[in-house]
Amino acid sequence: MSFSHDRRGQSVVVGAVVLFGFLILAMATYQVQFVPMENEEIEFEHSQQVEGEFLDLRNAILNVGSTGSVQSEPIQLGTRYPQRTFFLNPPPASGSLQTTNTDQIRIENVSVEEGGNAEAYWNDTDNDLTFNTSSLQYRPNYNEYRGAPRLIYEHSAVAAEFGGEEEALFRSNPTVLRDGTGEVNGTISIPILLGEFSANGVDPESVDLRSVSSGERTIALSANESSRIVLPTAVENETELADEWNRTTPAGVTARPGNGNISLEGIDGSYSLGLSAVTADDGGAEKPAYIVPVSGTTAVVGDSVGVEVRDKYNNPVAGAEVWFDGSKRVSGTDGRAFFESNSSDGLTVTINDSSNPLNYEKVLFTVTEAGGSGSVNRTFSTEWDPYPDPLTVVANNDRDLNVTVSDRSGSVSDRSGNPIANATIDYSIAPRSPNGSLTKLNQSVHDGADSVKFEAGSAKENESFDVYASAGDDVDTISVKVIDGSVAFRDEISENDTEFTVEHTLTNLGSGYLVIKNEDRDVNYTRTVSGVSSTIEVANVGGIRDDENINATLYESSNKETQLDSDDATVVGERGDGESTPITAFESTSASNLAANSDDQTQTLTFSVDGDLVEDEDGVVEIDLSNAQDGTGPPGSRGVQYGDATTTVIAGSGSATIEAGGPNAVVEYSAGAGDDPPDAEIQIAIEGVDVGDVVGDEYDIEFRHPDAGTEITTFGIAETSGDRRLNGNVDGDVYSTGSLTLANEADIDGDVDADGSVTLNYQSQVRGSVTSSDSVMIRNEAIVHQNIHSDGPVTLNFRSDVRGMITSRNSVTLENEAIVRDDIKADGPVILRYRSEVKGGVTSQNSVTLENEAVVDQNIEANGTVTLNYQSEVKGDVLVDSAGDISCDDATINGQSCTEYVAENY
Task: Tell me which amino acid residue 101 is.
Answer: N
pLDDT-derived band of residue 442, with 50, 70 and 90 as boundaries? Answer: low
Per the domain annotation, does 683 fall within a domain? yes
Q: Are 117 and 175 in a shared domain?
A: yes
Most confident of 355-359, 404-408, 626-630: 626-630
In this predicted structure, what is the pLDDT of residue 802?
95
222 and 334 part of one domain:
no
150-154 and 157-161 strand pairing: antiparallel
Question: Is the peptide bond between 250 and the residue preceding it cis, with omega within 30 degrees of 0?
Answer: no
User: What does each C-alpha distance from 885 to 398, 486, 635, 736, 880 come to in angstroms?
Assistant: 14, 21, 59, 41, 6
Average pLDDT over residues 569-574: 82
Query: Are residues 732 and 704 located together in one domain of the fold?
Result: no
**Weakest mean pLDDT among 282-286, 628-632, 737-741:** 282-286
Tens digits of per-residue pLDDT, 832-879?
988 899 999 999 988 899 988 899 999 999 888 899 988 899 999 998
Q: Checking phi first, is residue 849 left (phi over 0); if not, alpha (psi -120 to 50) or beta?
A: beta
Contact of 466 with 476, CB cutoff 8 Å:
no
| CATH number of the domain to which 446 belongs | 2.60.40.3450
Is the domain of 544 the same as that of 449? no
CA dist 475 and 296 (Å) reads 9
Residues 273 and 145 in one domain: yes
CB 505 within 8 A of CB 532: yes
Q: Is the pLDDT of residue 2 over 80?
A: no
Q: Is the previous residue joined to 390 through a cis bond, with omega within 30 degrees of 0?
A: yes
Same domain, residue pair 697 and 631: yes
Task: Return the beta strands (E) in 692-775 as ranges.
Answer: 698-705, 709-718, 724-726, 734-736, 740-742, 747-748, 752-754, 758-760, 765-766, 770-772
From residue 229, alpha-carbon distances to 181, 253, 523, 675 in Å are 20, 10, 75, 76
pLDDT more than 90, % of the chain:
32
Distance CA 815, CA 837 (A): 10
If pLDDT is split at 50, 70 and 90, which confidence band does 574 have? low
pTM score, two decimals?
A: 0.51
37 C-beta neighbours (distance < 10 Å), count: 9
Give me the CATH number covering residue 676. 2.60.40.10
Q: Is residue 759 part of a domain?
A: yes
From 702, 718, 734, the end of a domain falls on 718
Q: Residue 581 falls within a domain, yes or no? A: no
CA-CA distance, 97 to 152, in Å (whole number)? 10
Query: CB of 824 within 8 A of CB of 830?
Result: yes
Which whole number is the average pLDDT over 106-130?
A: 84
Residue 376 pLDDT greater than 70, yes or no: no
Confidence band (pLDDT; 50, 70, 90) for 8?
low
Antiparallel, parallel or unpaired: β 878-879 and 860-862? parallel
**pLDDT grade for 473, boundaries at 50, 70 and 90:** low
* Distance, CA of 780 to CA of 45 (rounded, Å): 9
- Same domain, residue pair 128 and 152: yes
Please tell me the least confidently modeled range out of 69-78, 272-281, 381-390. Answer: 381-390
Percent of the chain's residues with pLDDT above 70? 87
Q: Note whether 169 and 109 are within 8 A (CB).
A: no
d(CA 308, CA 285): 17
Q: Give CA separation, 304 vs 437, 473, 602, in Å.
A: 21, 10, 76
In this prediction, residue 423 has a pLDDT band, given cuts at 50, 70 and 90, of low
Region at 61 (left for phi over 0; alpha for psi -120 to 50; beta for the rest): alpha
Cβ(115)–Cβ(146) below 8 Å: no
Rounded to an integer, the average pLDDT of 159-188 is 78
- Is 616 in contact with 631 (CB distance < 8 Å)? no
Band (375; pLDDT cuts 50, 70, 90):
very low
**Cα Rg, the chain, nearest whole Å:** 36
Spatial CB neighbours of 220, under 8 Å, sequence gap ≥ 6: 112, 113, 114, 270, 271, 272, 273
Mean pLDDT score of the chain: 83
pLDDT (0 to 100) of residue 797:
86
Contact assessment for residue 738 and residue 720, using Cβ atoms and an 8 Å cutoff: no
Question: What pLDDT, on a 0 to 100 scale, did the predictor assign at position 438?
Answer: 59
**Position 805 confidence tier, pLDDT thresholds 50, 70, 90:** very high
pLDDT-derived band of residue 1, with 50, 70 and 90 as boundaries? very low
Backbone angles phi, psi at 390, to 5 degrees: -85, 160
Measure the CA–CA gap between 623 and 468, rounded to whole angstroms. Answer: 68
* Model pLDDT, residue 780: 81
- Band the pLDDT of 181: cuts 50, 70, 90: low
Say whether pLDDT at 379 is over 90: no
Instruction: Assess whether the previous peptide bond of 431 is cis (omega < 30° from 0).
Output: yes
For residue 603, report the phi and psi dihedrals to the nearest 5 degrees.
-115, 140
Q: Which residues contact 242 (CB under 8 A, 6 or more apart)?
A: 255, 256, 257, 262
Residues 515 and 458 in one domain: no
Q: Check pLDDT > 70 for residue 706.
A: yes
Cβ atoms < 10 Å from Cβ of 263: 18
Can you give the pLDDT at residue 374? 44
The whole-angstrom distance between residue 763's C-alpha and the CA centroid of its chain comes to 28
Asked if residues 331 and 320 have their Cβ atoms less than 8 Å apart, the reply is yes
What pLDDT, on the 0 to 100 scale, is given for residue 166?
Answer: 65
Q: Which range is least confidently modeled, 147-151, 427-431, 747-751, 798-802? A: 427-431
* 596 neighbors 602 (Cβ within 8 angstroms): no
Looking at per-residue confidence, does 455 or 893 come out higher? 893
- Whole-angstrom Cα distance, residue 703 to residue 705? 7
pLDDT value, residue 491: 83
Chain length of the chain: 906
Single-letter residue type at 446: H
How many Å apart are CA 653 and CA 651, to the nearest integer? 7
* pLDDT tens per residue, range 27-86: 777 777 777 888 888 888 898 889 889 988 998 898 888 888 888 888 999 999 888 878
Q: Is the pLDDT of residue 233 over 50?
A: yes
- Same-domain pairing of 442 and 470: yes
- The alpha helices in 190-344, defined as continuous H runs, are 238-248
Give the separation between CA 905 and CA 898, rounded to whole angstroms.
11
Give the pLDDT confidence of 607-620 residue by residue, as tens digits: 999 888 888 777 89
User: Nearest-5° angle of CA 283, CA 286, CA 287?
Assistant: 125
Q: Where are the strands (E) in 100-148, listed by range? A: 103-112, 129-133, 136-141
Rounded CA-CA distance 562/564 in Å is 6
Backbone angles phi, psi at 538, to 5 degrees: -55, -35
Instruction: Check pLDDT > 50 for residue 658.
Output: yes
> At residue 448, does pLDDT exceed 80?
no
Give the residue-averaged pLDDT of 390-415: 63
By three-state DSSP, how is residue 823 classified? Answer: coil
Tell me which amino acid residue 573 is. G
**Domain membership flag for residue 580:** no
| Per-residue pLDDT at 470 exceeds 80 | no
Last residue of a domain, one of 244, 260, 279: 279
Please determine, for residue 636, whether its predicted confidence score (pLDDT) is greater than 60: no
- The answer to whether residue 530 sits within a structural domain is yes
Greatest Cα pair distance, the chain, in angstroms, is 148
Higher pLDDT, 20 or 244: 244
With 80 as the cut, is the pLDDT of residue 474 above it? no
The DSSP-derived string for 611-651 is S-B-TTTT-EEEEE-TTTB--SSSTTSSSEE-TT-EEEEEE
Do 804 and 788 touch, CB atoms closer than 8 A? yes
Q: In 10 A of CB 872, how many CB atoms?
A: 26
Whether the predicted pLDDT of 696 surpasses 60:
yes
What pLDDT, on the 0 to 100 scale, is given for residue 410?
42
- Quickly count: other Cβ atoms within 10 Å of residue 370's Cβ: 12
Which one has a higher pLDDT value, 697 or 481?
697
User: Is residue 41 assigned to a domain?
Assistant: no
Lowest mean pLDDT among 152-166, 520-534, 623-637: 623-637
Residue 7, domain member (yes or no): no
- Looking at the fold, whether 122 and 261 belong to one and the same domain comes out as yes
By three-state DSSP, how is residue 375 classified?
coil
Convert the pLDDT of each residue in 296-346 to its tens digit.
777 777 777 888 999 999 999 888 888 888 888 888 777 888 887 777 777
Buried b (16+ CB within 10 A) or exposed e, 826-850: bbbbbbbbbbbbbbbbbbbeebbbb
* pLDDT score, position 821: 93
pLDDT at 235: 92
Residue where a domain terminates, one of 676, 694, 718: 718
Lowest mean pLDDT among 164-168, 352-356, 786-790, 791-795: 164-168
Q: What is the average pLDDT across 606-635?
A: 83
Average pLDDT score over residue span 78-96:
87
Dihedral (C-alpha) 582, 584, 585, 587: value to the nearest 10 degrees? -40
Total structural domains in the chain?
A: 6
How far is residue 275's CA from residue 278's CA, in Å, rounded to a whole number?
A: 10
Instruction: Name which residue leads in pLDDT, 428 or 82.
Output: 82
Q: Are 812 and 827 within one domain?
A: yes
Helix (H) or strand (E) holding 389: none
The angle at the Cα of 760, spanning 754 to 765, to the nearest 5 degrees, equals 100
Element (H, E) at 349: strand 347-351
Q: Does a structural domain hold residue 9?
A: no
Dihedral of CA 893/896/899/901: which sign? negative
C-alpha distance across the termini of the chain, in Å: 108
Determine the structural domain holding residue 310 and report its residue range. Answer: 290-368
Q: Are strands 740-742 and 758-760 parallel, antiparallel or unpaired?
A: parallel
Report how far residue 874's alpha carbon sits from residue 892's, in angstroms, rounded to the nearest whole number: 6
Identify whether residues 792 and 862 lie together within a single domain: yes
